[in-house]
A and B are shown apart, each in its own frame.
Chain A
Amino acid sequence: MDIPKDRFYTKEHEWASIEGGTAYVGITDYAQSSLGDITFIGLPKIGDMIKQTEFCATVESVKAASDVYAPLSGKVTAVNKDLVAHPELVNKHPYDKGQIFVMEISNPDEKANLMDEEAYRSYVEGLSK
Chain B
Amino acid sequence: MKKLATILVTACVLTAGFSVTAAAADFPQRPVTIVVPWGAGGGSDIIARALAKPLEKELGKPVIITNKPGGSGTVGTSAVAHSRPDGYTVGLINNTGLIHQIHYGGLDYTKADLDPLALFLRVPVFLVVNSASPIKNLNDYVKAAKEKNGSMTLGVAAVGGGTHLPIELFFKAAGIKTQPMPSKSGGSGVITSLVGNHIDSAVLHPSEVYGQYKAGALRVLGVLDDKRLEAYPDVPTFKEQGYNVTGQVWRSFVVPKNTPKDVKDILVKALEKATKDATYLETLEKLGDLPTWMGPAEFAKYLDEDDAKLLAIIKDLDLYNKNTK
Do A and B bind? no
A-side residues, CB < 8 A to B, are none
